Structure 1
């Protein structure tokens, strides 16, 4: 009996078990040599891996196909969100927007670890701009003085944070989460004495672990008979599946997909997701009679109407509101409509949806590699001073690994990419301009000459969703706006995302139906 007929003869459960056992087990299906056996060379394989853990603050979003783009009239006539069917793979995204308390924890760590007198710019470039609350014809000094630090606003979404600052926060969060995982696993000592370059960084630990000893307590069992780590055990590797992938901003496609929360709206392979707002996917958002008619998001109802009338404040907020105050969408995500708009990773182009790929669409790739010759070091070394770009902006902190753009010379034999910067690929670069002469390699860009012919350039980023300051039109996930990556406002915040590795669903039995969060009765979340 051949393999195919044998599998057909088994029950579905037994067939699945057989397939899994043939792919794993305690010995190699290729050579027959035992895994994790020092007598057989010591090749290590995590045969007990049970799948990716959900990182702190994250919610799993099962990926799929959906129609991205406009779902209502384009009243501004921008024509920048033409509907297109795309797919996103499964990912994780924060349950709620990053709060003032979350961001203050980040700033506290910077003060604790770095010599701020010697590196003042590390702190100053991370501080949110509290002056975004000021207005020429509105009195908002209370927010300027209190919003970021007063305990009354502890769990309100942080604002005044640029796209660049949000990305750096995500990098910091990656390291702190993975550091805590190693502490909980007993591999690291708790509360280490870290300073300047001597702090935990995930990449340094993974790729230069032999030099990272500040927190080492006990390593994993090393099956290599010639191990250089001795009896103390070896450091954790990617192959162990213990450390999590990096936190990052969601892509525009991921954010829009998660905002719709279209669980249960798919009919076989026919995707029916023409929702206008994030709560359309639920048949009954507020099932209790005394909650019917309550506002489902924090936004501006009309000119001058930010919160309703005295005695009946319809959304309970003049500006922002604490996170988790309004009901979540069907993925269990809060404030995907209203409260604050949110940064996403993408570079803005009006015709992005006509250009990007159908799977994991994204514009903004800048391919980099580690810089082994940074400042003449001649080898990959941990930074002792901040690394700056040509504009003197800090791109890497002490204790991290230096990076540089990939070069065309080192990618001559590649077909999938050739250069480092693809932010303007096909849309606005010289090669796509009608004024570009391929023979002489001369010419000027036709479009996106920033600050000369347009306000759109390679440093212009997308932000999604409506805010407390916006009318209902912007609450639709299909709308999109843009701002320079180094700018910030009083109505833009952010939340983090993370890649899903391996299986695209959570159920180990490969359950295909994603269950909705159970909500017997909606109750406003209260931090107090």
Structure 2
């Protein structure tokens, strides 16, 4: 997997030469030289040119926009009140994850994990192909063929629940970072990976001693005079800027911002249809001379009309369609309206708009830390068995796969002195927890009637996730990025898929000319000192 699309990447050879040069740059704090073996070996990548663009991703420059539903809410639900928020720059997949993408993941799981010993790992990742069944329709052809037949290779994968989509993102992080290290000569290719003995980004960074570190003297130069690695070098670190951040699902705010793609001109004005859809217009048909009248998205026009009349199939698809078939939006993103709806990270709440922060808005934080008890017990290698946990329904579910670092929820005792957070689970913060109610899960004072009946059930809980965008089964109303719906995270349908996103670290603009207006202190302030 060559990363042909990656930009602004520091070659390892150049990085090694920089680190090996003595005294080329000086600390603005102490006046001591960086990257000098005679001066302690403190190495700093001073020629970092910005984050590379990972495979399949498109850079989205962030900014402020009006998030929420700005069209008439004919359902009269109005749970998505418009509000102005700021989205940081980020990366997002150019198109939805396809069947062939997901089958590559399934193949890796089947190849690496012993199917006799860990059969549940592969089975838990399989899409639910039975989502195609309808008691009053004949869909067995899709049940048998949609996931695996080459005719559907580049159609969006469906039948994947939120949990499965999140695990795919984690797997993709490790495979991309592994390939980066192989391409740059830091790691050898290792096709003999088995069970817990495979490359994992967090293990590589935080658990030195794994065999997936510097091999055959292919590591980076180790400038420390007390290095135990000798000529073999050292593994890559976060400070080197070589490894990419995690692939993940986009937040609801990120997805909506990316879907509009022209948010700078978006104003809350219900008197106009401008910017109603992801292609920034009110017409559903292509206005260009070559494709005039063709549909701009794969959606349902009305009852019984999935693709138009015979002889002129206006959107060419009765169900999903291959990705990149319809025109992209102004960010270069395909199918942000129609084809399939898409999972986002957020936990659903009807009134999220009145609760969340206006910068990087998100509901769903669950804070964890690496479980150091395994190190204390002398288990230096990652946990080699599946880590299970009990969900809110009392069922056992896979929490961590073999080869991943064991984690645990942060405890309240660990955070007593913190002002910004104290708990591990903030999914229901200010909406369902103790802080958000006068009487929560306890009787009211004597003589007073209860304000709410907390014994009643609800369709919305801490495992209810948001999905965005219209699909091949939806009317045009749901194509507007401001609309939102929800589903339990362990449920799947034939019209929900997903795409991955990634954080942008550092400078928020991708233009290197704009980024280099400011010279780092060590290159500016001390030049006259060294003269």
Distance in 2 (CA, whole Å) between partners of 1:96 and 1:289 is 25
Aligned 8 A contact 2:274 2:282 in 1? no
Report the Cα offset of residue 438 of structure 1.
9.8
Match of 2:348 in 1: 348
CA distance in 2, matches of 1:236, 1:376: 25
Partner of 2:169: 170
In structure 2, the residue matched to 1:368 is 368
Q: 1:307 to 1:150 in 2, by over 3 A?
A: same
Q: Which residues of 2 match residues 311-326 of structure 1 at below 5 A?
A: 311-326=311-326
Distance 1:448 1:455 in 2: 13
CA offsets, 1:51-95, max 9 Å, x none?
000000000000000000012111112221100000010000000
CA distance in 2, matches of 1:240, 1:458: 38
Q: State how far apart, in whole Å, the 2-side matches of 1:282 and 1:240 are.
A: 47
The Cα shift of 1:375 comes to 11
Partner deviation per Cα, 1:168-220 (whole Å, 9 max, x = no partner): 00000000000000000001112431001110000000011233347734100
How far, CA to CA, are the matches of 1:226 and 1:30 in structure 2? 24
Please give the per-residue CA displacement for 1:405-452, whole angstroms capped at 9, x wherever unaligned: 100001010010001000000011133223239999999995887xx4
Residue from 441, 452, 460 that aligns with 1:456: 460
Tell me the residue number matched to 1:359: 359
Partner of 2:303: 303
Where does 1:17-36 land on structure 2 (aligned, <5 Å)? 26-36=25-35
Superposed, 1:283-298 pairs within 5 Å as: 286=286, 288-298=288-298
- Does the CA contact (< 8 Å) of 2:99 and 2:155 recur in 1? yes
Query: Match for residue 212 of structure 1?
Result: 211
How far residue 324 of structure 1 moved from its aligned partner, in angstroms, is 0.1
Note if contact 2:214-2:234 (Cα within 8 Å) is conserved in structure 1: no
Residue 314 of structure 1: how far off its partner (Å): 0.6
* Residue pairs, 1:477-516, within 5 angstroms: 477-510=481-514
Shift of 1:374: 5.7
Question: For residue 75 of structure 1, what is the aligned residue in structure 2?
Answer: 74
Larger deviation: 70-79 or 458-467?
A: 70-79
Q: Would the alpha carbon gap of residues 448 and 151 (structure 1) be closer, same or farther in structure 2, given more than 3 Å must change?
A: farther
Instruction: Note closer, same or farther for the CA distance 1:284–1:299 as it changes in structure 2 (3 Å cut).
Output: closer
Structure 1 residue 398 displacement after superposition: 0.6
Q: For the Cα contact (< 8 Å) 2:204–2:212, is it kept in 1? A: no
1:296, 1:255 → 2: CA distance? Answer: 19
How many angstroms does 1:283 deviate by?
11
Structure-to-structure mapping, 1:420-459, within 5 angstroms = 420-436=424-440, 446=452, 452-459=456-463
User: What displacement does 1:239 show?
Assistant: 0.1
Specify the SS of the correspondent of 1:404: strand
TM-score (ref. length: structure 2): 0.86
Q: How much does 1:276 deviate?
A: 1.1
Q: CA RMSD in A?
A: 2.7
The aligned runs of 1:202-281 (5 Å cut-off) are: 202-213=201-212, 216-217=215-216, 218-262=218-262, 265=265, 275-280=275-280
Cα deviation for residue 245 of structure 1 reads 0.1
Q: Structure 2: how far apart are the matches of 1:511 and 1:230?
A: 37
3-state SS of paired residue (1:172)? helix
The answer to whether the Cα contact below 8 Å between 2:209 and 2:381 also exists between their aligned partners in 1 is: no
Counterparts of 1:15-54 in structure 2 under 5 Å?
Answer: 26-54=25-53
What residue in structure 1 maps to residue 6 of structure 2? none
Match of 1:18 in 2: none
The aligned residue for residue 124 of structure 2 is 125
Report the TM-score, using the length of structure 1 for normalisation. 0.87
The worse-fitting range, judged by mean Cα deviation, of 183-192 and 342-351 is: 183-192
Distance 1:282 1:75 in 2: 17
Secondary structure class of the residue paired with 1:121? helix
C-alpha deviation, 1:393, in angstroms: 0.7
Structure 2 spans left out of the alignment, 5+ residues: 1-22, 517-531
Conserved 8 A contact 2:210-2:381: no
CA contact (8 A) 1:371 1:380 kept: no
The yes-or-no answer on 1:408 pairing with 2:412 is yes
**Counterpart of 2:388?**
388
The CA distance in 2 between the partners of 1:63 and 1:292, in whole Å, is 32
Change in Cα spacing, 1:445 to 1:306, as seen in structure 2 (3 Å) is farther
Q: How does 1:10-159 map to 2 (within 5 A)?
A: 26-159=25-158
Instruction: Give secondary structure in 2 for the equivalent of 1:503.
Output: coil
Residues 306 and 36 from structure 1, CA distance in 2 versus in 1: closer, same or farther, beyond 3 angstroms?
same
What secondary structure is seen at the aligned counterpart in 1 of 2:158? coil
> Contact 2:132/2:139 (CA < 8 Å) preserved in 1?
yes
